[in-house]
Structure 1
Amino acid sequence: MTTLINLDEFGELFTTFEHSAWRLETRRGYASDRKDETYREFIETGTVAWDPEDEWCRNMRAQTSAGKRVGRVRIVDDPPTTGQLYLLDNAKRNAATGEDMRNLWRADAERLQLPREDFWIFDSRFIALLHFDEADTLLNVELITDPAAVMRYAQVRDAALHHSVPYKEFAALAAAKEE
């Protein structure tokens, strides 16, 4: 079964999940990032002074401090896009909250036949499939609760985690490729 939810309902999932939240990020960039002041800061300086006390960070610290697992794998092009480099810099902020931040080269994701869609899997019970337009704007979120579909996404999660690299190690690999 699938249901569309609005973005406020989607946001609530990050406070109500019971034990785990995990995301696959596949896009080359996100409109929401490009609208943020931190994106302009990154373009100008190559790094960002992230706010560790913003709403996302406070909530993620609370969730991970309660023993819940949060993580994601970001698919990255070779060479990385500006949006992907921005997110690689952002990974240090996410990791500081207790998130397990990992990356995977796009060529490896394609070899593994990972989907090209972004999704969150919550508590291994339901999927929040993110729908974007061509300008990378998040339009809506589709909740998927069918057990067989959830299992397929869980298999994607397992493959992505197995083949991905922790963000610090990945950042070093990406920097070495640029030299």
Structure 2
Amino acid sequence: MPQKPPSFAEQLADCHHSAVHLEMRDAYGIAAEADEFAAWLAGDDSSRRDWGGRRKAWLDTVREAVGRGVVMRRARIVSEPVSEYIRFEHAGTPLNITAGEDVRWLPRRRASDIALPGNDFWLFDNRVVRFNHFTGDGASAGPEVTDDPAVVALCATAFEAVWERAVPHAEYHV
């Protein structure tokens, strides 16, 4: 029977230098944010500026990790024109940045010649990868964790190639 992977919190707590995240979907169907997304679509953008809401735990986690010296970077590969979901993410990204993440956006057309893994991932300290699997409708299908050196190298190379081409959040307009 396969061993249950460590939680994201455990992996980030064990991280000492860098945590990078590559997102490649144009929409996610995360149940916990469904109400916020629906409200945002209806014109209520308050959740995108709310430090005390659903995202508080995440923002506190970022601050804690960055406070102990972990560099956190997130890159998003997006189709253009962007989906409504990506517009929603973009609107909430300033909170991530204020918490300590550095975020960049790469139009998908500029990623065609980059070798990318098949799934979104986190890479911790260039030593362990946490793939985020999703169903066809964007719901979480659970993680997969590996420290296989070839997979780590693929993810590290892919992330850095995306990062180099990507547009900093402040300069990317949706």
Larger displacement relative to structure 2 (113-122 or 93-102): 113-122
Task: Confirm or deny: 8 A CA contact 2:105 2:169 kept in the other structure.
Answer: yes
Which sections of structure 1, spanning at least 5 residues, go unmatched?
175-179
**What's 2:13 paired with?**
15
**What's 1:80 paired with?**
82
**Alignment identity in percent?**
27
**What's 1:64 paired with?**
66
Task: Confirm or deny: 8 A CA contact 1:64 1:70 kept in the other structure.
Answer: yes
Q: Aligned-pair distance for 1:108?
A: 1.0
One-letter identity of the residue aligned with 1:41: A
Q: Secondary structure at the match of 2:94?
A: helix
Q: Aligned-pair distance for 1:122?
A: 0.6
Q: Does 1:93 align with 2:95?
A: yes
TM-score by length of 2: 0.87
Q: Aligned-pair distance for 1:23?
A: 0.7
**What's 1:41 paired with?**
39
One-letter identity of the residue aligned with 1:13: Q
In the aligned structure 1, how far is the partner of 2:113 from the partner of 2:42? 35
What's the C-alpha RMSD, in Å, of the aligned pairs?
A: 2.0
Q: Secondary structure at the match of 2:145?
A: strand
Q: Aligned-pair distance for 1:11?
A: 3.7
TM-score by length of 1: 0.85
Aligned pair count? 169
In the aligned structure 2, how far is the partner of 1:151 from the partner of 1:33? 32
In the aligned structure 2, how far is the partner of 1:40 from the partner of 1:78? 22
In the aligned structure 2, how far is the partner of 1:137 from the partner of 1:17? 26
**What's 2:23 paired with?**
25
In the aligned structure 2, how far is the partner of 1:4 from the partner of 1:85? 37
**What's 2:149 paired with?**
147
